[in-house]
Amino acid sequence: MNRLVSFALFLVLLNTVQGEMCQCAGYFIEDDKKTPMDFIAAMDFDLKNIKCEAGGEPMCQSFCYEFMSQITNGGDLFHIRPGAEKCYGDQICELIDRDLLKGLWVGAFSRACGGEYIFTGLVSDDTLCCKNRKHVHCP
């Protein structure tokens, strides 16, 4: 399976992080643009270069930043990656399956070796608003 799968598949692939696993997750975040509020979805990766006893967290954090940056073109919720039919924002709106008229920031987080989620530093360029399961510009 292509590593650049759509973020919508994250929900299907939820698992507990153990050993050499690295989990990349999306959260709605507070206005400070780093504090997680509500979980959106996550995806696990088995990265052979991550060793829990050797501080795997920074490597996982870096991987998730790069991965999420690629599929969102640096945090653009309207970005449609090559081969995809929908923008990243539409995929999130379908996942949450509700109208969201108050814009929320989306942030990327990582978790390695069963630890806590760590903010990667990647935040959406703009807030997310949803109407009829579609990403729309916020009022």
> Residue 57's pLDDT band (boundaries 50, 70, 90)?
confident
Residue 5 has pLDDT above 60, yes or no: no
The rounded distance, in Å, linking the Cα atoms of 89 and 80 is 9
Task: Over range 17-25, report the average pLDDT.
Answer: 71
Residue 58 lies in a domain: yes
Per residue, what are the HEC states of the chain? Answer: CCCCCCHHHHHHHCCCCCCCEEEEEEEEECCCCCCEEEEEEEEEEECCCCCHHHCHHHHHHHHHHHHHHHHHCCCCCCCCCCCCCCCHHHHHHHHHCCCEEEEEEEEEEEEECCCCCEEEEEECCCCEEEECCEEECCC
Residue 1 confidence (pLDDT): 39
Q: What is the pLDDT of residue 2?
A: 38
* Segment 117-132 mean pLDDT: 95
* Structural domain total, the chain: 1
pLDDT category at 39 given cuts 50, 70, 90 is very high
User: Would residue 1 count as lying in a domain?
Assistant: no
Higher-pLDDT residue of 81 and 56 is 81
131 in any annotated domain: yes
Is the residue at 68 inside a domain? yes
How does residue 20 score in pLDDT terms, banded at 50, 70 and 90? Answer: low
- pLDDT(16) > 70: no
27 CA to centre of own chain: 7
Q: How confident is the model at residue 114 (pLDDT cuts 50, 70, 90)?
A: confident
**Rg of the chain in Å (alpha carbons):** 14
- When pLDDT is averaged across residues 2-18 and rounded to a whole number, the result is 36
CA gap 127, 123 in Å, rounded: 9
- C-alpha distances (whole Å) from 127 to each of 14, 40, 106, 119, 133 are 25, 14, 7, 17, 15
Which residue segment(s) compose the domain that 63 sits in? 7-136
From 17-26, 56-65, 79-88, the region with the lowest mean pLDDT: 17-26
